Amino acid sequence: MSQTLSATKHFYPDANLARELIANYGSPLYVYDAKHLSDNIDRVARSIPYQGTRFAFASVTNGNLALLRKFKAAAWGLHANTPGDAFLGLNAGFLPSDIIYSGSNLTADEMAQMLRWGVATYNLDSISQLELLALVKESVDAPIPRIGFRLNLPDVTGESRIGICPDDLVKADIRARELGLAVTGIHFYRGTSTNATERFVDCLDTVLAVGQRLSQWQYLDFGGGFGFSYYDRKHSFEWEDFGRELTTALHRHKLNLDLIIEPGRSIIAGSAALLCTVVSTKSQGEKKFVGVDTSTANIAVLSVHGGTRQVRCYGHLDEPLHLTDVCGNTTYSRDYLSRSCQLPNLNPGDLLSILDAGAYGYAMSSHFLHRPRLPEVLLENGNHRLIRRRESYDSLVANQADL
């Protein structure tokens, strides 16, 4: 196998490897680089000097078992947004005690299931979910869960539907004790894909002051939402600065807490590319349109970061560049993989890597537009292997009842 080109931020395969992968597994596919991911895991894990820090990978971004196991091997926990996240985590070998749930609006059945699985930590987002947890707990033989609340601080984050305000946190604390439980944690999520490190730092004193209103504060879960620079021209989230400031703030407040950090996108986005093939080309005036054999159903470009992303082509060295839209293989009006990028004149059969597909790539892919979902391939120690099979058209009818 040929060498991979593994830039610090954005992994993509070189031309020979790209051709080899397509020849082996077909087009299109997601390709991950294990070394790129493990370097990221190491770098982030070293960035927070605070003793008692535990990292938990937010698997909402990527639920592939082979990749989840990379985090397990690095002694990370798992952050579950849903019972499905927890289920995947358990299947990947995480202990229930390694799984931290922070989500919203669980049904009684879902809560009972999570308790039976032994999921240990629940960051709730309403007092009503606390009432439900207490009720459900009565009928499930499970250890007493560790309970925290997601903080809602509109002055810091802007309006959010998730979490409770500081006064309700105090009410939740009292109510939990009445129910024979204890609220020992707070969870705070500063924002989605925020590259401005100071936004995470400037709110620390506020968050730490609110936490101290709890009668038995034991842990701080400072979320995810850490930025990833899809474009190198923008400034990036600085893990070392953040880790230093967070540690200093915890010491300044003389707090001895368990600290949980649950990165998602920031740790895995850059470790994968969506490799695809050009199937048609055309021009409208100065603008070129390149049609590829994948669609926005496989990479939710608009909803993840606003419309466009970096694309690499192979060959065509030193050829002039043209304003180009890379379009998906449907007539859905928003089916763009990237807009207004600069690419040479491409031809059907050329390969493209759409960068930074590791987070919210496969995880957000769907049967919208009715194409089977793609395979995932992992590069590791000079080899490649399939870590998820390509679906067939059968997947489109698999659960239909009227066949």
Ligand X SMILES: Cc1ncc(COP(=O)(O)O)c(C=O)c1O
Longest CA–CA separation in the chain, Å: 72
| Cβ distance to ligand X smaller for residue 266 or 329 | 266
Q: Which of 138, 211, 220 is nearest to 181 (CA)?
A: 138
Report which residue type is found at 343: L
Contact 316/344 with Cβ under 8 angstroms? yes
Stretch that binds ligand X, among 201-209, 218-226, 335-343, 372-380 (CB under 6 A): 218-226
Give the range of 6-14, 70-78, 86-94, 261-269 binding ligand X by CB under 6 A: 261-269
Answer for which of 225, 243, 291, 328 binds ligand X (CB under 6 A) is 225
- Piece of 54-62, 135-143, 165-173, 212-220 that binds ligand X (CB under 6 A): 54-62
Euclidean distance between CA atoms 64 and 45, whole angstroms: 21
> Site for ligand X (CB under 6 A): which residue of 85, 245, 262, 325?
262
Residue closer to ligand X by CB (options 160, 330) is: 160
**In the complex, least distance from residue 329 CB atom to ligand X, rounded to whole angstroms:** 28
3-state SS assignment for residue 343:
strand
Q: CA 189, 263, 339, 30 torsion: positive or negative?
A: negative
Contacts of 252 (CB under 8 A, 6+ apart): none
C-alpha to C-alpha distance for 61 and 161, rounded to whole angstroms: 20
The number of C-alpha atoms within 13 Å of 308 and in the hemisphere containing its C-beta is 11
Site string for ligand X, 161-200 (x = CB under 6 A): ----------------------------x--xx-------
**Residue-by-residue DSSP string for 223-259:** ---B---SSTTS----HHHHHHHHHHHHHHTT---EE
| Interface of this chain with ligand X, residues 366 to 385, rule: CB under 6 A | none
Q: Kindly write out the interface string for residues 336-365 of this chain, putting x where it contacts ligand X by CB under 6 A and - elsewhere.
A: -----------------------x------
Q: Smaller CB distance to ligand X: residue 201 or 276?
A: 201
Q: Is 148 in the site for ligand X (CB under 6 A)?
A: no
Measured from the CB atom, the residue of 145 and 224 that comes closer to ligand X is: 224
In the complex, the residues that contact ligand X under the rule CB under 6 A are: 58, 60-61, 79, 81, 102, 189, 192-193, 223-226, 262-266, 359
